[in-house]
Chains A and B, each alone.
Chain A
Amino acid sequence: MNRINQKLQEDKNLLSIYFTAGYPKLEDTVSIIQNLEKSGVDMIEIGLPFSDPLADGPTIQASSTQALKNGMTTKLLFEQLKDIRKTVNIPLIIMGYFNPMLQYGVEAFCKKCQEIGVDGLIIPDLPVDEFHEKYKTIFEKYGLINVFLITPQTSDERIKYVDSISNGFIYMVSSASVTGSQSGFGSEQTDYFKRIADMNLKNPQIVGFGISNTKTFTQATKHTKGAIIGSAFIKHLTENGVDTIGEFAKKILE
């Protein structure tokens, strides 16, 4: 079974952490993954940096720009990850925009992910329909889970459609926003979490965007399976470096 599906069966709320590959330093990728696993995090999203990240706010944008300046590329990321499964067992997801994957070749990209032991992909600008028509069979061939996003504006009908073609979890964007722009959840968000929970979808939901501390993590996971932290973790890396990753995760999970 795919590591993501195994993890989703555990009877607990999951903490997933996003970081940008090649940030703060080009060679930090492996050590960040190892430290995150050690600190008790449940899942990791490895951000493949892109020059024009449309869905990201300033924090993740800046980390992507820096990672590219540091010299990060798709090929290099795969090179850095080639022995990752010798040291970690945590589910790994690559999150990136579609153009770099398209240039690498979608099939070659998926094949490489399987070789390395990457479990899934999140591609915010690859539309559901396009995936369904052109790429679903390739993802399946290489045992990859593709994760789709829904937002408070997504219609029930479309949510059901997304649920029907998902095979892992649904990435629930907490509010209409780019990453890193929220400071807390109001009733509007918690109502939305509950509304989706009440739909009894076959795929569990994990909330992303706007989770930065224990409070928002607890709010987000009250009605869902887990939550993803991105910008707040990048900020932590910027300010404290990679050595204090354990403290960051511990504080959230307290």
Chain B
Amino acid sequence: MNYNTNEKGYYGEFGGAYIPEMLYPNVEELRQNYLKIMEEPSFQKEFNQLLKDYVGRPSPLYFAKRLSEKYKTKIYLKREDLNHTGAHKINNTIGQILMAKRLGKSRIIAETGAGQHGVATATVCALMGLECIVYMGEIDIARQAPNVARMKMLGATVVPALSGSRTLKDATNEAIRDWINNPVDTYYIIGSVVGPHPYPDMVARFQAIISEEIKWQLNEHEDRENPDVVIACVGGGSNAAGAYYHYLDNLEVKLIAVEAAGLGIDSGESAATSVLGKEGIIHGSKTLLMQTEDGQITEPYSISAGLDYPGVGPLHAHLFETKRAEFVSVTDDEAMKAGIELCELEGIIPAIESAHALAIFEKQTFKPEEVVILNLSGRGDKDLNTYIDYFGL
């Protein structure tokens, strides 16, 4: 079984580039150049230097002693929450801004849901002195005010997406429309392993630094490169793609993907795509997505804005279908409880996205000798209001 894309951008049955002809020249330019550019020594050098000096990599692999004691197994946290801007998102935006520069683009667009990818994009645009326009659903702008302010401070223009349900999927539609209207000077920085080929593969490669580091870090801790289990939350799936990447072909490493069940799988208010979705096309990619019988894309729900997406990247659809990864869903309540538990046991306030992954320990038992790695994709500062409201703090 192959877990990488073929040259047409398919992971098994999933992926491809289902785009209107207006986008073809841009996507084709990227497809023809992305691997070549990423392999250039000067690109590698600049990318790695920025990850080290600007992002603060390598992010630590931390043995969570008290959490491990509680759940009677060996839990390591990959601390993506300690990155600049507070999550794994910046690994990708650093990579893509360097890509955009090498392609000679001067105007950057992005979509954002909770604002994390928007902030990470605005950050690298400020760093490189490039114009930045971020599309964000009108509803998300209202509920994520601090991140909107951050983007503005960083010099970005935040454009409200007023169409459809006015959330992440509509912000993505608007970003794509902008790209159609500006085909020459504009580069679209997609925030997850979604969209038309080559985006899912390119974003996974930029995030692959996560598992690349885990390998040598685990060697230092445990004298072995491979853990028994890798756990990550999945919305679009970029942090999971990065955490799995170098273990995909190593079948001894169990992969667990945690999706957001929202108020419950059968509640009608959920974002558990692998359970509720079926094969279809969203944002230029064939994948699993939540839709009506008639093929209209439906609106997901999760307390975590970062997991609130009706699809999942084509890599993850493939991992699900081939059973390479086990998909588990976690409700709002389970995630919030796990989030607070990490605060109390380890002194770390996790993003609510990452808290979904942490909730796995109440649902599954691991053996005492097993080495379990959990990708702590982001920090919880951005979620303070949600924590306050939920727990009445």
Contact = CB atoms under 8 A, between A and B. Distances in A.
Nearest to A162: B21
Interface in A155-198: 155, 158, 173, 176-178, 181
B156 interface: no
B38 to A, nearest CB: 24
A149 B296 contact: no
B20 A54 contact: yes
Nearest to A75: B294
Interface residues of B, number: 34
B282 A99 contact: yes
Interface stretch (A33-41, A123-131, A138-146, A225-233): A123-131
A135 interface: no
A151 B280 contact: no
Nearest to A148: B21
Given A150-B21, A154-B25, A178-B177, A58 B291 contact: no
A125 B20 contact: yes
A83 interface: no
A125 B18 CA distance: 5
A51 B177 CA distance: 15
A150 B291 CA distance: 30
Contact of A99 (B164, B180, B280): B280
Interface in B1-55: 16-22, 24-25
A99 B291 contact: yes
Contact of A98 (B24, B281, B293): B281
B20 A103 contact: no
Nearest to A177: B181
A124 B281 CA distance: 13
Name which of A51, A103, A124, A130 has the most chain B CB atoms within 10 A of its CB: A51
B73 interface: no
A28 B60 CA distance: 62
B192 to A, nearest CB: 16
Contacts of A150: 21
Interface in B267-282: 279-282
A58 B170 CA distance: 12
A52 B181 contact: no
A158 B28 CA distance: 12
B22 A149 contact: yes
Interface in A56-92: 57-58, 61-62, 65, 68, 73-75
A52 B164 contact: yes
Given A103-B295, A176-B22, A54 B173 contact: yes
A153 interface: yes
A99 B311 CA distance: 13
B281 A73 contact: no
| Range class of the A interface residue count | 35 or more
B176 interface: yes
Interface in A95-143: 97-104, 124-128, 130
B264 interface: no
Name which of A50, A52, A97 has the most chain B CB atoms within 10 A of its CB: A52
Contacts of B284: 54, 125
A97 to B, nearest CB: 8
B169 interface: yes
B297 interface: yes
A97 B170 CA distance: 16
Interface string B196-224: 00000000000000000000000000000
Name which of A57, A127, A153, A155 has the most chain B CB atoms within 10 A of its CB: A127
B295 A104 contact: yes
A127 B21 CA distance: 7
Contacts of B298: 51
A67 to B, nearest CB: 11
Contacts of B279: 102
Nearest to A103: B295
A76 B279 CA distance: 22
5 contacts: A50-B295, A100-B296, A103-B295, A176-B181, A178-B22
Given A52-B169, A130-B16, 15 more contacts: A51-B164, A52-B170, A52-B283, A52-B297, A54-B19, A55-B177, A73-B294, A99-B291, A100-B295, A124-B21, A125-B20, A127-B17, A151-B21, A153-B22, A158-B24
Interface of B: 16-22, 24-25, 163-164, 169-170, 173, 176-177, 180-184, 279-284, 291, 293-298
